[in-house]
Structure 1
Amino acid sequence: MRLSPDVVRRSLAGLPAEESPWISMLQTNARPAAVAIPIRFTRDPVVIAILRSAELREHASQVAFPGGKREPSDVDLYATALREMDEEVGLAGEGITHLGELTPTPTYNGRYLIHPYVVAVGEGLAPVACSGEIAQVLELPLGAYLRGEAPRYGVMLNWRGAEILMPHFRLDACVLYGASAVIFHDLVERIAAGIGATLPPPILEREMPWGNREPV
């Protein structure tokens, strides 16, 4: 099946329908945040992500999605995601179409609850790094993951007596991990279920490939 905005919209219909298994990580004073998950429906669809600069004091050299904290001028969290996507990778305007939402996911430190919004990027739009905080704009091969050609990885963690998968994705020279990886894993699983695709299970590893970094 050719992946299209309508196919993704149908796959995400009715979501989010359940809480994240990590929801108990949230601190009582946790703040809401939002990210955009931009999909370019090229011949082989890709998801736009960013590699943060190595010079940042926080989250240096981490792969993430465009997003951030809600500002007083944002009418809602979807507006937050759109604003941040425009500020970080220059994607905005009539070429952006809302397709649905994914399960809100807490950061590992419990300080934020991230609300992911999936959007389609029109053919006339191309992402570009618009901030000094971004080292590179990345393309995650969504089509290859849905066909099972790109492997998924994970580490099994014991969280409050339950075994939970902490997924991660090995890219060319970096690793997508933490809350962003949980969100992307959710996207791949939801679309695969929507199109009736059977995915190979994640390849389990014994150690977290991000070392002693906090998997935010």
Structure 2
Amino acid sequence: MNSTDNTLTLTDFITRFQLQLPQPSEPARNQRRAAVLIPIICHHQPTVLLTRRSATLRKHAGQVAFPGGAADKEDTSLIATALREAHEEVAIPASSVRVLGQLPPVDSSSGFQVTPIVGLLAAGTRFRASRDEVADMFEMPLHQALSLASYTPLQIQRRAKNLQVYFSWYQSHMVWGMTAQILYRLGQHIHL
């Protein structure tokens, strides 16, 4: 982070992401595999692209999310899954993504083991939402998305287990659940 302001440069992010080992996490319990792309757009002040899921979807309707979904048997890797899903949902060409790496998988409430893939996109990359899956797209400043102070923890009980979930607001969007958990973990990963 730049000491004169509260921004995170792209160079700082890349360096810290690549030099820091991922934080240890609880091993994922779910067996069905999925992947999401954390698309970081390389503006002068980098942003992360988020979507709001269509209200007509069966699961997680209307929630803020990363592009992503379940692995297909044709996918050669979870990176391929994330890139395929990002192309299907918001028309990001796989060839325009510079994959930096991945974070440890997290368990979703819908029974998937989800692997977050971190990728960089050029500032001029165009997006087009698949209206069947995506109601809206927006960019959140990377420094805010990864600021641990932006998140409020909340203790909940699910299936007789105490869990800590995070939520945050950006403009009119509430970021919570697995999306907030992934951003919070990425924030932990890059902060010293």
Query: TM-score band (shorter)?
Result: 0.7 to 0.9
Shift of 1:131: 3.6
- Letter of the structure 2 residue corresponding to residue 8 of structure 1: F
- Letter of the structure 2 residue corresponding to residue 100 of structure 1: G
Distance 1:53 1:158, change over 3 A: closer
Q: Is the 8 A contact 2:38 2:117 kept in 1?
A: yes
Distance 1:87 1:164, change over 3 A: same
Aligned to 2:5: none
Q: What is the rounded CA distance, in whole Å, between the counterparts of 1:147 and 1:168 in structure 2?
A: 12
- Letter of the structure 2 residue corresponding to residue 60 of structure 1: A
Distance 1:92 1:20, change over 3 A: farther
- Letter of the structure 1 residue corresponding to residue 9 of structure 2: L
TM-score if structure 2 supplies the norm length? 0.83
Q: What is the rounded CA distance, in whole Å, between the counterparts of 1:130 and 1:84 in structure 2?
A: 11
Aligned to 1:66: 67
Q: Which runs of 5+ in 2 are unaligned?
A: 3-7
Q: Percent of pairs identical after alignment?
A: 31
Q: What is the rounded CA distance, in whole Å, between the counterparts of 1:162 and 1:108 in structure 2?
A: 13
Greater strand fraction, Structure 1 or Structure 2: 2
Q: Which runs of 5+ in 1 are unaligned?
A: 194-216
Shift of 1:15: 4.3
Shift of 1:187: 1.4
Aligned to 1:127: 127
Let me know the Cα RMSD of the aligned residues: 2.7
Aligned to 1:139: 139
Q: Is the 8 A contact 1:15 1:103 kept in 2?
A: no
Establish whether residue 152 from structure 1 lines up as the match of residue 151 from structure 2. yes
Q: Is the 8 A contact 1:33 1:113 kept in 2?
A: yes
Distance 1:176 1:69, change over 3 A: same
Q: 1:7 aligns with which of 6, 9, 12?
A: 12
- Letter of the structure 1 residue corresponding to residue 155 of structure 2: M
Shift of 1:122: 1.3
Q: What is the rounded CA distance, in whole Å, between the counterparts of 1:123 and 1:112 in structure 2?
A: 31
Distance 1:147 1:107, change over 3 A: closer
Q: Is the 8 A contact 2:146 2:184 kept in 1?
A: no
1:10-63 superposed Cα distances (whole Å, 9 cap, x missing partner): 323364452337x4xx34xx3010000000121221111110111222211111
